[in-house]
Amino acid sequence: MPRSIGERLWALSVWTFIGFFILNLVAMIGSVLVNSFGTRWFNTWLPNGFTPSWYALAWNEFKLPDILIVTIEVVGAVVIISGLIGVPAAYAMARRRFPGKTAVMAIFLLPLLVPPMTYGIPLATVLYQTHLGGTLIGVILANLIPSVTFVTLLMIPFVEQIDPRVESAARVFGASTGRMFVQILVPLLLPGILASLLLVLVRTIAMFELTFLTAGATSQTLVVALYYAVFAAGVRPGQSIDAMAVVYMVTTLIWLLIALRFVNPTQIVTRAKR
Amino acid sequence: MAIVSRDFRELRLEGVGRAFGQLNALQDITLTVKRGEFVALVGPSGCGKSTTLNCIAGLLQLTDGSIWLDDRRIDQTGPEDRGFGMVFQNYALFPHMSVRRNIGFGLATQHRPKDEIAKRVDEALALVRLESQAEKLPGQLSGGQQQRVAIARAVVVEPPLVLMDEPLSNLDAKLRLEMRAEIRRIHTMLACSTIYVTHDQEEALSLADRIVVLIDGKMRQVGTPEQLYMAPANRDVAEFMGYRNHVKTTARPVEGGIAVTMCGAAMLGTVPHTAGYETVQGAAMAAIRPDDLHPEADGPLAARVEIAEYHGRDFYCVGKAEDGTDLYFRSPRRVAPGEVVRLNADPSRVLVFAT
Amino acid sequence: MSAANLTLRQRLHERGLDGVTLLVVPGVLFVLALFIYPSIYGLLLSFEPKEGGVFGNYIKFFSEPFLYTTITKTLVIAIPATAINMILSVPVAMRVRLMKHPRLLTTILVIPITLGTVMVAEGMLTYLGPRGWLNRTLMFFALVDEPVRLIHNYWGVMLSLVITGFPFTFLLTLSYITGIDPSLEQAGAMLGARARMRFWRIILPLLAPGLAITLALSFVAAFTVYPSAVLLGAPAGPTRVISIAAYTAAFEEYDYSMASAVAMLMAAVQVIVVAFLLSLRGLFFHGPASSGKG
């Protein structure tokens, strides 16, 4: 449609804002990256020189190997368990109408609507009382809450779009339940399972609040360790904190890029859309 | 506000083209629509008929050519300033407004006085016979009723030109026939010009004063329904207009027509001259409607029946000629698959095109 | 076949209860044990204070300025942040919906959400600090004489909520806007409505229910801000938000009863604001934002 001058100016200002936002975002990430390689940086645009040594320092000082192992354990366990619990639950929710289904749906929806900081405090209380607080298992359990419900809600429409007659047809041709599951359902559901589990993976790496509230000294994930490092800034050189931030950033963004091959960026936020 | 008044003489498209990237969706469309005329744009799906309509509406910008309303050029004008009415394929009724407010929307944008809006909306409701539904939301109406609201909304501002984009394609067959008559009645009553897009040739034949056939983004023929039905200008148009059988022939001009030979030596008869056929000689293609091809004891074409469907009055059949050509024909008597029948057609109903 | 002839198994199946339905049980038990039970437990625990009567914690919260001001301080941060994000998101989403290939842009914008508040806080500390690139640029162009203080105060928290909150609000708004049938706006244009009128009379009413949900989710996220309030704000002063009060009670004073009470108050404020926003939604049309066959 041809546009008037007013509309053009409006469009221009909107694009200027988008550009400004992205510019600042890039500069913000860029300054962390530059600082993590910089030697001395004082009153200049760029550091005096560049060195990779901050990464070595961060690696040892922050016990990054231990933290990374914990992160992998937590994320791996959360992804596998939430898939094992969430996918069958989604299948049942999509295929059956049963008494109390609305209530079950509400139960699955609530943890995604209530922010983790709100339910995290009572959850941590319960975990500490059962002596699970501060342990790896406690961290995994806490992280499973949003993940299980997320996988379930994401998979329900995915199961629904598979025609139940496909399953009936398989049964008519004599496939047993197990066979049908392995040969018919899993291949059809695989793209959805992959997408939802990748999203769970990215979300769990970045999940600060729940891990923070339930983790002990030996069960911190990368993001919580980063928080404590920033919190205690001044104890260690800023560059080594930024080096750790870069490690965190790379870990997250690699998985984000992989996930975005299977899902649309808007799906990451539209979890609560009904 | 609108730059057009009701008393225009004609809408002219001059060399209109529209490209999407590398793809030319529309090329060199030149067409004049007179006031009061009902013009149908037809063609198979993807032929550019909706693109043409959107260009006229102003919803799409041209990449080539110009559009004129009398002597004013309008292709640089936005859709809101052209003042045309439009009926969308999915009706595009505002779901949050009552029927009354939907219909009154165009008048409200013109800042008409409230009582005038009310009066004209009432008239429009009466025109489409929906007086009792005025306060309902579109979601509470049936498909046919929504269609009427869409028409009322488009015509209530008394536009010089009403654009309709496949308005009946979402309705069931019975309702479609009813609404067809309704659209024609409203067009005649309002004496506006209508440009009507459809992929259904039957709809175009029954509604339009003039039909434009678009194929692959190009205008292939413009003419009255009779001209298009009886004398399509080329094979593509003929095929679209229902000439389903294409039989290889050799043609020879004779006194008063063209003599054709089909499928070997079988003589079908002579085909009368029509403008443009004089040059046809030698290898040619004969086009025949299934309705015009039927079994006859000593018909020239032999075909082995493959499918025969009972359709009440007669059988719709598909057969294969000796050279493998598929033949579609009607049979008033029962024929069985495998049976060999001899077919004939009235020579005056057979079209011959050069290949 | 009469009901009497059915086995128990068949009768359960008739009501939708069979082996497949049982697949939902582990998920439900899980949420009951780790979400519903702790929430109820927390609620009850909040009425068992270390000292004072049943409402001891709540009385203490509302009588100590250091505690009760956290609610207002959080609202003073969360409400403007949510409003800014919403006001920025709608025009941007209106523009982006016209793009043929919005994927690159949405991918860039999803990055700050994915990185999370901790990473954004660290980035802002480096970028917005007195020696960071932003202040250098401002001083280079002589826009300011000395570095602007953008961290360790109210504005640091506000900016971090815009950096992570705007993309979230925008992507949610975008998904609602693209759900509106574009032919509705075209119909408005054909009827003479200009862009501004089409927005106010057609798009916005159809968008309102989605915007209410977006606002509610954005507000709730901003209201429970924690890491940036600590790292970028002044956690002892103007950015002592309610999450900090809850955390302090639980992990510094080891008063889980008080911490639960603060968490319950946090939830209560959220419920009140969300209920208010969703009741506004009732004033607008709520139905499908597309037309088509009825």
Which SS3 state, helix, strand or coil, does residue B54 take? helix
In this structure, what DSSP letter does residue B271 have?
E
Beta-carbon contacts below 8 Å between A and C: 262
Using the beta-carbon criterion (under 8 Å), do A31 and C123 form an inter-chain contact? yes
**Measured between beta carbons, which residues in chain B are less than 8 angstroms from residue A3?**
78
pLDDT at residue number A161 = 85
pLDDT at residue number A263 = 80
Whether B79 has its CB under 8 Å from any CB of chain A: the answer is yes
Please state, in angstroms and rounded to a whole number, the distance separating the CA atoms of residues A194 and B35: 60
Using the beta-carbon criterion (under 8 Å), do C42 and A116 form an inter-chain contact? no
Which sequence spans correspond to the domains of chain A?
1-51, 53-272
* CB-based contacts of A2, cutoff 8 Å, min separation 6: B58, B61, B76, B77, B78
DSSP string, A226-258: HHHHHHTTTSS-HHHHHHHHHHHHHHHHHHHHH
Please state, in angstroms and rounded to a whole number, the distance separating the CA atoms of residues A152 and A106: 12
Q: What percent of chain B has pLDDT over 70?
A: 93
pLDDT at residue number B351 = 83
Name which of C98, C184, C191, C207 to mutate to probe chain B: the one with the most chain B Cβ atoms within 10 A of its Cβ: C191
CATH 1.10.10.10, applies to B243-354: no
Which SS3 state, helix, strand or coil, does residue B194 take? strand
- Comparing C19 with A245, the larger pLDDT belongs to A245
pLDDT at residue number B232 = 87
Whether A5 has its CB under 8 Å from any CB of chain B: the answer is no
Chains near C with 3+ CB pairs less than 8 A apart are A, B
Residue in A257, A273, A196 with CA at minimum distance from that of residue C172? A273
Please state, in angstroms and rounded to a whole number, the distance separating the CA atoms of residues C215 and C226: 19
Whether B95 has its CB under 8 Å from any CB of chain C: the answer is yes
Instruction: Express each pLDDT in B70-118 by its tens digit.
Output: 888 999 888 989 889 999 999 999 999 999 999 999 999 999 999 999 9
DSSP string, B5-43: -S---EEEEEEEEEEETTEEEEEEEEEEEETT-EEEEE-
Lowest mean pLDDT among A245-249, B286-290, C23-27, C153-157: B286-290
Which SS3 state, helix, strand or coil, does residue A83 take? helix
State the nearest Cα–Cα gap between C69 and chain A, in angstroms.
Answer: 18
- Comparing B259 with B198, the larger pLDDT belongs to B198
CATH architecture of B10-235: 3-Layer(aba) Sandwich (3.40)
Is the pLDDT assigned to residue A2 strictly greater than 60? no
Residue B48, CB half-sphere, CA atoms under 13 Å: how many? 24
Is A183:A171 a contact under the CB 8 Å cutoff? no
Which SS3 state, helix, strand or coil, does residue B353 take? strand
* CB-based contacts of B65, cutoff 8 Å, min separation 6: B13, B14, B15, B16, B17, B28, B29, B30, B75
Is A184:A230 a contact under the CB 8 Å cutoff? no
Instruction: Express each pLDDT in A79-133 by its tens digit.
Output: 999 999 999 999 999 988 888 899 999 999 999 889 999 999 999 999 999 999 8
pLDDT along chain C (294 residues), means of 10: 66 76 92 95 93 90 93 96 96 92 90 92 92 90 88 94 94 92 94 92 92 92 93 91 94 93 95 89 59 36
Using the beta-carbon criterion (under 8 Å), do C292 and B83 form an inter-chain contact? no
**Measured between beta carbons, which residues in chain C are less than 8 angstroms from residue B141?**
294
Lowest mean pLDDT among A110-114, A136-140, A168-172, C29-33: A168-172
Beta-sheet strand order (sheet of B23-34): B23-34, B10-20, B64-69, B72-73
Instruction: Express each pLDDT in B211-262 by its tens digit.
Output: 999 999 999 999 999 999 888 888 889 888 888 888 888 887 777 677 777 6
pLDDT at residue number B6 = 59
Pull the structure tokens for residue B253. 């001009």
Instruction: Express each pLDDT in B151-169 by its tens digit.
Output: 999 999 989 899 999 999 8
Chains near B with 3+ CB pairs less than 8 A apart are A, C
Domain A53-272: homologous superfamily in CATH: MetI-like (1.10.3720.10)
Whether B81 has its CB under 8 Å from any CB of chain A: the answer is no
Tell me the one-letter amino acid at C78.
Answer: A
Those of residues 180-239 in C touching chain A at CB distance below 8 A are 189, 195, 213, 217, 220-221, 223-224, 226-227, 230-231
Pull the structure tokens for residue B224. 């009255």
State the nearest Cα–Cα gap between A3 and chain B, in angstroms.
Answer: 7
Nearest-5° Cα angle at A68, A62 to A69: 120
**Measured between beta carbons, which residues in chain B are less than 8 angstroms from residue C291?**
90-95, 138, 146
Please state, in angstroms and rounded to a whole number, the distance separating the CA atoms of residues B162 and A11: 31
Residue C164 CA from chain centroid, whole number: 11
- In whole numbers, what is the pLDDT of chain A averaged over residues? 89
Output phi, psi for C43, to 5 deg: -60, -45
Residue C115 CA from chain centroid, whole number: 16
pLDDT band at B11; cut points 50, 70, 90: very high
Q: What is the arithmetic mean of pLDDT over B318-335?
A: 89
This model of the complex carries an ipTM of 0.88
pLDDT at residue number C284 = 64
Which sequence spans correspond to the domains of chain B?
10-235, 243-354
pLDDT at residue number B1 = 38
Write down all domains in chain C, each with its CATH number in brackets.
1-45 (no CATH), 63-281 (1.10.3720.10)
Which SS3 state, helix, strand or coil, does residue B254 take? strand
